Structure 1
């Protein structure tokens, strides 16, 4: 521990119960001699969280200092759904499953620190990744007085091998994957599962089949398509096949459907905010369906000008989330614009799920801007005078004619 840094008295640790955060818990106790409070977020990662409690108790944490919080509804309602109103996709492919969970975890870390009188929070993100930035920007935005401890930037355990040795030395249980090996670096929540490390660190190597944890292989998906309908109100999904459901229940159901049909698997090399490229395998079954459906209902309810403006700001909005600026003034300003565009994004989308693809096949809404009488190839009863197009084209061509005349003149 650096002599220049005053030791914290109480630290709230974002604790998953996995290898890294269990080692960090022990390290905080021995390095700082401080009281540790654990916070484990139930974000719908599909794991039993009681083992995290038991492991914290095993490592000497008092029962009253163990916080396991069910955040599934808040996660989907206040973070996932607002992001999907924007159709946010990072670098054309990534649905931001890890990124969007970090501001909520940061928010709860700060709330628990304030409630328990802790003067610091800690996280298990490495000094090479994006999550350190996301956690710490979130804490800075919500309570600048709280210190942040990032053990990966302080300790001398610089490899997975050294972590395993530390765990064995301190009798910390080490999880194994289904092949009896230390697992991939995995992040999971209700929106997605990501897998990184090991063989995936070489982008020239095909990801083994066993990496996927949620989604069946396309080859093993049903040979019969499944038709579903998703209902939206002001840009948010509210029902599946006519059954009203809560936000978390909707995403859970869409995950089941998408996983069954092999939808939402992505092998992706991305540009991290810290400057390097990294490769991961992402599984986002429900989110992939939701994005397709949301775009489907926007196609008939959103004005072209508003829609094109929204599409133009989406990359910036997605980048803000990826880089950890959820609580920034500019993200909030963009969110206000995005949410305004969703006032009439209400209706139902019918989709076909088949062999890795979710495809919109029908959509309808009481707020539709689609006018069949204007686009029909049959008699339109005077709804549209085709002669009007001549003047429209003539005026739009004016600047092109002027440029062409100028170029012809100066080239003589």
Structure 2
């Protein structure tokens, strides 16, 4: 009886070529798993393709709601942004996909899991750290790093498939390397490989349009949160996945959330990419605006540091770690009063504040107003400043004394 391998399968050229390669070089029974994280790509025909290429079966797993509820929401609550720009669309999805690969490997009694991530990228790390954390006994096969993998181009893969009787509707023409899910779409390659080049947005954009092409009239949107979780858009209650879909349409229409970044990959190289995250950008901004009202100064300061750390943890594929759990526990403890409504105006790539309300708001008009209220006496500031600046005064006096 042959040993089984679970293959992370997208239906694209790389993972299609990996099926016969696994059978030829390892004599495995190949079981494919396609993870649907809301990428809206056509999944019809994938089972037929996988089996025709030599797989024994294909699982198509709808992970969209789990992705939104258990992975996206914690990152929104943390305000996790990698290198001040990237909203972690690919980074968040990989540990969930890897977790499901492990679950199906256990169900099938498989001894190995294979992925098609390249040896230059971050995804190999994210997949493999999760698998190691959840199933240290399962063998990992990274096709592109394996000594038996001799293909170096799309042309090589197409020719390999043809040699194995597989004729597929893939061409060898060069196009952007993309990753899409419900949260975002990323673009790499072509003119983006040279940071001196302006992106060809007319050719590149999928979820959005440029601010120049956005409507000349702005559009208002309201988002309601309960304990840090988005619950409504424009007064209509929805599950998180539908909120993201709704905001994607609104944000894309108004040119929101397009970023061009040269990021530092975990493996040491710099990589240039363009990300479209229209709905996510709106959701992050809304959550942050609400936190401005309800979190105290010290908690806000600590949470900024924790958000950056959380982003690093997720980017580096360390989801299944005690550190991520501890950071998330802190973040969740800050969310109990993050309830209220945020209103924005979307206009040509801009998210413009239009009012925020919360029953837990710490903003006190009596204190903050230029008119003196009962809770604040201007004279109290004098003693505070004397104490707050005491060390500066003592230091200056000592320097003056020594300079005599």
TM-score (norm. length: structure 2): 0.96
How far did 1:169 drift?
Answer: 3.7
Secondary structure at 2:223 match in 1: strand
- Counterpart in 2 of 1:344? 337
Write the distance in 2 (CA, Å) between the matches of 1:378 and 1:396: 25
1:17, 1:51 within 8 Å by CA — same for their partners in 2? no
How far did 1:8 drift?
Answer: 7.9
1:256 to 240, 246, 249: 249
1:8, 1:119 within 8 Å by CA — same for their partners in 2? no
Write the distance in 1 (CA, Å) between the matches of 2:154 and 2:400: 67
1:191 to 183, 205, 211: 183
Q: Which moved more, 1:150-159 or 1:327-336?
A: 150-159
1:39-58 mapped onto 2 (5 Å cutoff): 39-58=33-52
How far did 1:146 drift?
Answer: 0.9
1:15, 1:38 within 8 Å by CA — same for their partners in 2? yes
1:195, 1:281 within 8 Å by CA — same for their partners in 2? yes
1:347-386 mapped onto 2 (5 Å cutoff): 347-380=340-373, 382-386=374-378
How far did 1:174 drift?
Answer: 4.2
How far did 1:337 drift?
Answer: 0.3
1:293, 1:360 within 8 Å by CA — same for their partners in 2? no
Question: Could you say if the C-alpha distance between residues 357 and 8 of structure 1 is closer, same or farther in structure 2, counting changes exceeding 3 Å?
Answer: farther
1:292, 1:359 within 8 Å by CA — same for their partners in 2? no
Secondary structure at 1:298 match in 2: helix
2:195, 2:272 within 8 Å by CA — same for their partners in 1? yes
1:72, 1:190 within 8 Å by CA — same for their partners in 2? yes
- Counterpart in 2 of 1:175? 170
How far did 1:172 drift?
Answer: 4.2
1:157-236 mapped onto 2 (5 Å cutoff): 157-170=151-164, 171-175=166-170, 181-209=173-201, 210-236=203-229
1:164, 1:174 within 8 Å by CA — same for their partners in 2? no
Write the distance in 1 (CA, Å) between the matches of 2:219 and 2:368: 30
Secondary structure at 1:50 match in 2: coil
Q: Which moved more, 1:69-78 or 1:203-212?
A: 203-212
User: Does residue 314 of structure 1 match 2:307?
Assistant: yes
Secondary structure at 1:250 match in 2: helix
User: Does residue 9 of structure 1 match 2:19?
Assistant: no
Deviation string for 1:29-53 (max 9, x for gaps)? 2211210111111111121112322
Deviation string for 1:225-274 (max 9, x for gaps)? 00010000111111101111001111111111111111111111100001
Write the distance in 1 (CA, Å) between the matches of 2:382 and 2:331: 35
How far did 1:313 drift?
Answer: 1.9
Question: Could you say if the C-alpha distance between residues 175 and 361 of structure 1 is closer, same or farther in structure 2, counting changes exceeding 3 Å?
Answer: farther
Write the distance in 2 (CA, Å) between the matches of 1:355 and 1:99: 28
Write the distance in 2 (CA, Å) between the matches of 1:95 and 1:175: 31
Structure 1 stretches lacking a partner, 5+ long? 1-6
Write the distance in 2 (CA, Å) between the matches of 1:73 and 1:181: 35
Write the distance in 2 (CA, Å) between the matches of 1:399 and 1:174: 73
- Counterpart in 1 of 2:86? 94
TM-score (norm. length: structure 1): 0.94
